[in-house]
Structure 1
Amino acid sequence: VVEKIEDAVKLGKGASRIYATIELGKSTVGRTRIVDDDPVNPEWKESFHIYCAHSVSNVTINVKSDDTLGAHVIGRATIPLAKILPEKPIKETYDLFIEGNAKQRGKVKVKLQYTSVQRDPSWGSGIHGPNYQGVPFTFFPQRSGCKITLYQDAHMLPGFLPNIFLARGMLRQETRCWEDINNAISSAQHFIYIAGWSVHTQIRLVRDRNTGEGQTLGELLKKKADEGCKVLLLVWDDRTSNRGIPNLSVMGTHDEETFNYFKSTNVKCLLCPRNPDSGLSIVQGMTVGTMFSHHQKSITVDAEVSPSSPSRRIVSFIGGLDLCDGRYDDQNHSLFRTLNFVHKDDFYNGCFKGAALDYGGPREPWHDIHAKLEGPAAWDVLTNFEQRWMGQGQHGYLLDIPQIRDIITMTPITEAFDPETWNAQIFRSIDGGAVFGFPTIPEEASNMGLVTGKDQVIEKSIQHAYIHAIRRAKDFIYIENQYFLGSCASWDSMQDTGCDHLIPIELALKIARKIEAGERFTVYIVIPMWPEGLPDSLSVQPILEWQRKTMEMMYREISQALIAKGMYDVHPKDYLSFFCLGNRESKIPGEINPVRSVQEPIIGEHYRKAQENRRFMIYVHSKMMIVDDEYIILGSANINQRSMDGARDSEIAMGAYQPFHTSMDASPWGQIHGFRMSLWYEHMGILLDDFLHPNSTQCMGVVNKIGDKIWNEFISEGPDMRDLTAHLMSYPVQVWEDGSVSVKEGYPCFPDTEATVLGSRSPLPPVLTT
């Protein structure tokens, strides 16, 4: 608790905007609001609940003065860890100094207490039955009586699923995301609220070879609005695009196209810039407004309770899928064979220079994860949309929900004794510059899980949810994410890049502590081969370097734990393995013939080689973590600083579990277990008994062997090109026993490219690439 600077030497005379930060090494882990009404004796009285996983020798309190262009340090107080580690409350006054100057700059009074994670009663305990109350210190509480539908990819092929057995003799059922979204929008009567990083009016949600294609999204939304349904769109205003100048956008989000499409219609489309919080400096504000985005993806509609009831309920969708081009895909993730129908009007590849249908494939296959929420948690998604809409000053368009509560009611969708019921909790990364109604009083903000700082109010509950779930985990974790970089404070260098979030180091420490205890714990991580874009570009290469540093930091932590335990013949990859997805298709009759040649000078060599070798990565865009087959987090948030910071990209996610399917008594066999098995079947093309025990040495070994096998199929060249037998490939790096990471022998670059796998430095500022 940072409480007060005492006026010891007339501190800050003439200053007007004073705040304090809490730092662990080079990481700022807490920041107070600015006090501008008492520059001599500012008093904060703010509370922080801080997750720590840092190798440091002290805690530093910095007192700073803010001005238009930034801030400067008035003085620092250093608190040695020896004072903190006994885990008893400390309330003391510390002198403030500046390095190289022995003159006292004032005093600061603090109260703090450290609690070891191993003393936490929830450490390694899992969900532990129906009494689990959810992640503490969050804006939205956990809701019971929910129903969750989990989706892999935008579409699921009929007959794709094998028999995946669940509890009580049930089988996992096929789910089709975009068809369900289409039906939900079509059936809405009162309102349709959509928030997206990108919304493209020309996509078709339904693409069936037998029944034909459905109408475009734009046509569907205009039709519903004309029927009297209130249709509101919150689309990120990409400032690299310019109203009236088409095709200027760097990101290709179609924001201006979408805005212009709905002009003079009954659909209200609001382009939503990533406005900086008012407390930021001019330079910081320009950084937020230009470099960061609104990355949330949500749809909320009203739906029928039952065919015989006039009452309505709320249904929401969240996850990784934007309603835009290139996202529609199924479990085959075809490169060439769907270009004559399913993707004839939706050819997309964001990794090639000049990619277009006229030049032929490969298209960029898209793997993603999404969810439908029904019940009380769906209302929290609605609340998020309303807060964001009003945050743009648009109070007049929202449906007045209180006036129709006799029609739309917030009631559980499942009974407490229903074995298929869910508990769900909504999390966000967002700040007061993006929403309306955040409390500004520190005590109120703290009670709602918010952090106030330098006139900002920040919610970073997604990062906290990940940390909380990792610490509770018992046996294994399975992650799919578009990015995986972070915990720079634990890297071997470049600790000041600002990529401070703790998820990677929390995973590594979890494994290390389990090794120390003589227990098994495994982590499987699936990421794309490289982040979307030209793989040798100035924006992609530094991300790959941060990713390599993150991997190496984790493997070194595991290696040191193995050595300390005397387990010299065990490899770090027996506990942690990274994978990517890829595809290769032989040529078959009926494929489209390109009308233009990739030999044209405008086309890059990567495009030519990928077409010649009939192969390409499957782009992993998922943002999901499964813990012990009992708990799942999914949403829009990547595992990078942009998504986890709270003051960078805005994000939304959920954490959910089924109270009757936890690991309290035995291995859970609920819907989350079935979903993981379905994903593994999609990626590996097989279901094995070993997959039922993912924390075992046997299972990790089998999955690593499959990954190595498919990688070798993928890189093989020659006239006899065959379809890959599966999609899961070992990530192309060499991991050594000491935890160091290097290039795979013979493959310093990704196949068909000249882009180095390990990445390289770039003149771009790290804030852009972390």
Structure 2
Amino acid sequence: MTDTSASLFKESENCWQTSQVTYATPLIDGANYYRALHSAICKAKHSIFIVGWDIDSRIRLLRGEEEKNASAPSVISELLKWKAEQHQDIKIYLLRWDSSLAFFSQREMWAKEVWDNKTPDNVKTALDSTIPMGGSQHQKIVVIDDEIAFSGGMDVSTNRWDTREHLVEQPERVGPDGPHGPLHDVQILTSGPIVECFAQLVRWRWDRINEQKAIEFSPSDPQRDDVPASWPDNFPPSMHNLPCAVARTIPFMDGVEPVQEVRRMLLDLIGQAERFIFIENQFTTRQEIAEALNKRLKACPDLQVIVVSSYEPKGKFESEAYWASRIDFKRILENGIEDGRVKITYSTLTNDQGKSTQKRVHSKVMSIDDRYLVIGSSNISNRSMSLDTEVDLVFAVNTEQNKRDITNVRNDLLAEHTGRSIEQVEKIFASDDPLNGLLSDQAETGYQLAEVSDEQFTNKAWQPVFSSLSDPEKPLIAPIQMSSGKVVGVGNPKQKTIVFMLVALLVLVLGGLVYWASHSIPWLTAENLEQFLEDTKGTMWVIPTICIIYVIAGLVFFPVTVLSLAVAAVYGPIWGPIYGMLGALISSATLFALGHIMGERGLRKMGGTKIQAVDDKFKDSGIVGVAVIRLIPIAPFSLVNLVAGISSIGLIQFLAGTFLGMFPPMIAKGLVGDSLSKIFTNPSPETIGYLALGIGFWALMIFVCQKLARMYQLKKAQAS
């Protein structure tokens, strides 16, 4: 058999490049992709490129017994560090989208600093902020040794790992942000001439935003037809010698002309369909695609279409932008089409114990009859067709073997969704009505497909607002034409810029509140507050007052040193340090509890690498470690208290270490604070001498404590 399916591919129109795949195998669901990626990284010898929407340093690639028995680290950052140190000549490039405000809760804060801190110099990290305002970097590509490539819908990110069983309860289905539900996704692993296309693409992405260019493409022998050395273990190729094409979406960026190859490719593929179109996709909102499907259904009376997507939206943006728009997509698709020819579905399970769940679909797959197969990163959404960066790999048939390879992928996926075997699905497609055959007689206790009913999630009232923000076709801010005639695009603000803007806004708000309070509350003046502290001397209110002040100061990250000096200035060199120490301990205990409530996820996003440094001290040294941190601060007083709440150290140990580390310097602060107050009221040689003595004693305490801490750390390091 010789098929001319590949003649559909037109470079510079519906695809970027046409090529050939020597070997390929789909990697269905996160457990398989992460396992294959781990194996390939372990085998890498000269280069690794990872380009993604996200590259999270905390992700475990292996789970369970496989993780325990692995000879290389499972966590992606530790694995890449191990590889970079093992092969010092290897070059590793990590290119991640510098995300927008909408994804703060899902992403590592200070991602570049985290990766730079965790990996050696031959691991290079960059954040891409050149995508137009409202768009995202959505390509997901890994190229290893320029001989194998991974591409598709999966990132090394949170909430992606799952097995093909998609169990209702899966103990290993947990990430840095906690447990998550079943998730389905598809990646494709390839070798052969196609790898050069992906190698060029990742280098282009890297070089356009980095002064230090990536290493040159270093292809293996183009004549070789064996499986490459870096091909992962336990994933034998299942597809051989297929013609293919790479289709992209590239938005307008400075110096880059936009391309919409994905959009044109999907429209052209739909126009070829005759019997069955299978789509599984995270989002289906693009009305142009629905119109094309409807037109083809009317032109081909035997054609059937099934779409597999997710059941329930996550949050207001999904419900009002994507689920509300899926209602319109479904209406357009079904308009004038007989019942039983079109189904938009989700995959649901009720297990033997009667517990139910729905599989969240994140994949981007399309199969056209037994002639074409698309596996890529593109959603059927407005943004994926024009505003995000996307890349899809499209396979075509030219032999009987190709035909079997492509239909086997479709049948395998539908077998998973309907709780059947591949052989059972094959029999269904041999019938005259495969669509209704798939939806009937499904296993009661396995996964099965059910039709969507999105009206339960939205009344569409907010659809125009949320769609314009979450699923736009054009940048939220249009490109600006300069006086020179050059058109400059407005990109998403960098994550750091957003953080600093939020901090500045918070400072302005707090400053405004203080200003308002000082002018609107008659008793709130500096003189009254000072008098209030003075009035507490010798009364039962002195200790509660000090404790409340220290707790409030801790919550707003007010410097504890400044507060201790102020307390000493009011209460003197003896009671000042005692009261200050008591207040510091109460504040420490309060923030310790708050840190425990906030949990690791919230704190690590707030503090980045400082969190890790403090936590390492706690793990290494216990009480002594806390004392060392108090003597030689590596992070603010309040941050140390918060981190302690998520560490393995107990509250009593933490407070004991805090006392040991803070009380000696507190005595010195008492002398200095008391001297400062007296020098303003009575600037005599005696008060000036006390101040100098206090500062000298403070400096001596810092010097001695640093020496003792370093001696302890050195002795501990030598012992270990």
| Segment of structure 1 superposing worse, 217-226 or 755-764 | 755-764
Choose which of 373, 381, 385 in structure 2 pairs with 1:644.
Answer: 385
Q: Which amino acid aligns with 1:330?
A: T
Q: Which residue of 2 aligns with 1:221?
A: 80
Aligned: 1:230 with 2:9:
no
Taking structure 1 as reference, are residues 555 and 220 closer, same or farther at Cα in structure 2, changes over 3 Å only?
same
Find out whether 1:331 has 2:164 as its counterpart. Answer: yes
Is this contact kept in 1: 2:3–2:397, CA < 8 A?
A: no
Deviations 1:370-405 (A, max 9, x none): 10111111111111111111121x14241123xx55
Residue 518 of structure 2 corresponds to residue 657 of structure 1:
no
The CA distance in 1 between the partners of 2:69 and 2:53, in whole Å, is 25
Report deviation, 1:767: 4.3
Q: Write the mapping of 1:691-730 to structure 2, written as runs, cut at 5 A.
A: 691-692=426-427, 694=429, 697-706=432-441, 725-730=445-450
Return the structure number with greater helix share.
2
Q: Counterparts in 2 of 1:263-282, with a 5 A limit?
A: 263=117, 265-275=120-130
User: Structure 2 CA distance, aligned partners of 1:757 and 1:368?
Assistant: 29
Tell me which residue corresponds to 2:244: 424
Q: Report the equivalent of 1:507.
A: 293
Residue in structure 1 matched with residue 638 of structure 2 by the alignment: none
Q: Distance in 2 between matches of 1:252 and 1:629?
A: 38
Rounded to whole Å, the distance in 1 between the matches of 2:355 and 2:405 is: 36
Q: Output aligned runs, 1:96-115, within 5 Å.
A: none
Q: Could you list the per-position Cα deviations for residues 400-427 of structure 1 after superposition, in whole angstroms to 9, with x for gaps in the alignment?
A: 23xx55xx34456479xx9931112111
SS in structure 2 at match of 1:637: coil
**1:70-469 to 2 correspondences below 5 Å:** 128-129=3-4, 132=7, 134-136=9-11, 137-138=13-14, 140-144=16-20, 146-155=22-31, 176-209=32-65, 212=68, 214=70, 215=73, 216-226=75-85, 227-228=87-88, 229-240=90-101, 249-250=103-104, 252-254=106-108, 256-257=110-111, 259-263=113-117, 265-275=120-130, 288-289=132-133, 291-302=134-145, 314-336=147-169, 338-339=170-171, 342-343=172-173, 345-346=174-175, 356-357=178-179, 363-392=180-209, 394-401=210-217, 404=218, 408-411=220-223, 413=225, 420-433=240-253, 457-469=257-269
Let me know the Cα RMSD of the aligned residues. 3.0
SS in 2 for 1:142: strand
TM-aligned CA distance change 1:468 to 1:399, over 3 Å:
same
What secondary structure does 1:194 align onto?
Answer: strand
Aligned counterpart, 2:575: none
Q: Quick check: 1:191–1:301 contact (8 Å CA) kept in 2?
A: yes
Check the 8 A contact 1:195/1:385 in 2, yes or no: yes
- Normalising to structure 1: TM-score of the pair? 0.55
Preserved contact between residue 470 and residue 627 of structure 1 (Cα < 8 Å): yes
Instruction: Specify whether residues 383 and 131 from structure 1 end up closer, same or farther in structure 2 by C-alpha distance, changes over 3 A only.
Output: closer
Partner of 1:371, secondary structure, is strand
The 8 Å contact of residues 431 and 458 in structure 1, kept in 2 or not, is answered as yes
CA distance in 2 between partners of 1:347 and 1:329 (Å): 14
Report the secondary structure of 2:56's partner residue.
Answer: coil
Distance of aligned partners of 1:767 and 1:701 in 2 relative to their CA distance in 1, 3 Å threshold: same
2:38 counterpart SS class: helix
Q: Which has the higher strand share?
A: 1
2:16–2:248 contact (8 Å) kept in structure 1: no
Measure, in 2, the Cα distance between the counterparts of 1:546 and 1:208.
40
Tell me if structure 2 keeps the 8 A contact 1:200–1:258: no
Structure 2 CA distance for partners of 1:321 and 1:669, relative to 1, 3 Å: same
- The 8 Å contact of residues 389 and 395 in structure 1, kept in 2 or not, is answered as no
* 1:633 correspondence with 2:633: no
Match for 1:549 among 320, 328, 339? 328
Partner residue, 2:466: 764
The equivalent of 2:492 in structure 1 is none
Between the two proteins, the alignment pairs up a number of residues equal to 454
Q: Tell me the secondary structure at the aligned position of residue 474 of structure 1.
A: coil
Of all paired residues, the percent bearing the same amino acid is 19
**Is the CA contact 2:306–2:344 (under 8 Å) kept in the aligned structure 1?**
yes
| Distance in 1 of aligned mates of 2:17 and 2:406 | 21
Residue by residue, what CA displacement relative to the aligned partner does 1:124-171 show, whole Å, maximum 9, x if unpaired? xx993476362442563311353221121123xxxxxxxxxxxxxxxx
**How far apart are 1:615 and its partner, in Å?**
3.0
Letter in 1 for 2:54: S
Taking structure 1 as reference, are residues 207 and 390 closer, same or farther at Cα in structure 2, changes over 3 Å only? same
Per the alignment, residue 277 of structure 2 pairs with: 477
Distance, in Å, in 2 between the alignment partners of 1:413 and 1:557 is: 50
Matches of 1:240 and 1:200, distance apart in 2: 17
CA contact (8 A) 1:521 1:695 kept: no
Describe the SS at the equivalent of 1:726: coil
1:293-323: CA deviation from partner (whole Å, max 9, x where unpaired):
1011000011xxxxxxxxxx51110011111
**Cα shift readout 1:697-743 (whole Å, capped 9, x = no counterpart):** 5322222335xx67xxxxxxxxxxxxx6222332233xxxxxxxxx7
Paired residue type of 1:238: S
Following superposition of structure 1 onto structure 2, how do residues 593-608 of structure 1 map, counting pairs within 5 Å?
none
Bigger CA radius of gyration: 2
Q: Helix, strand or coil: the match of 2:54?
A: coil
Corresponding residue of 1:445: none
Match of 2:311 among 529, 535, 539: 529
Partners of 1:235 and 1:269 within 8 A in 2: no
Unaligned runs of 5+ in 2: 228-237, 473-720
Deviations 1:160-193 (A, max 9, x none): xxxxxxxxxxxxxxxx322221111111111100
AA matched with 2:333: M
- Does the CA contact (< 8 Å) of 1:426 and 1:652 recur in 2? yes
Q: Deviation digits for residues 683-710 of structure 1, max 9, x if unmatched?
A: 112246564454855322222335xx67
Aligned match of 1:683: 417
Unmatched runs of 5 consecutive residues or more in structure 1: 1-125, 156-175, 242-248, 277-287, 303-312, 349-355, 358-362, 439-456, 488-501, 559-570, 588-612, 663-667, 711-723, 734-742, 750-754
Post-superposition shift, 1:256?
Answer: 2.3
Measure how far apart 1:219 and its partner are. 0.8
In the aligned structure 2, how far is the partner of 1:548 from the partner of 1:143? 38
Work out the CA distance in 1 between the residues paired with 2:2 and 2:331.
Answer: 30
Q: 2:451 corresponds to which residue? A: 731
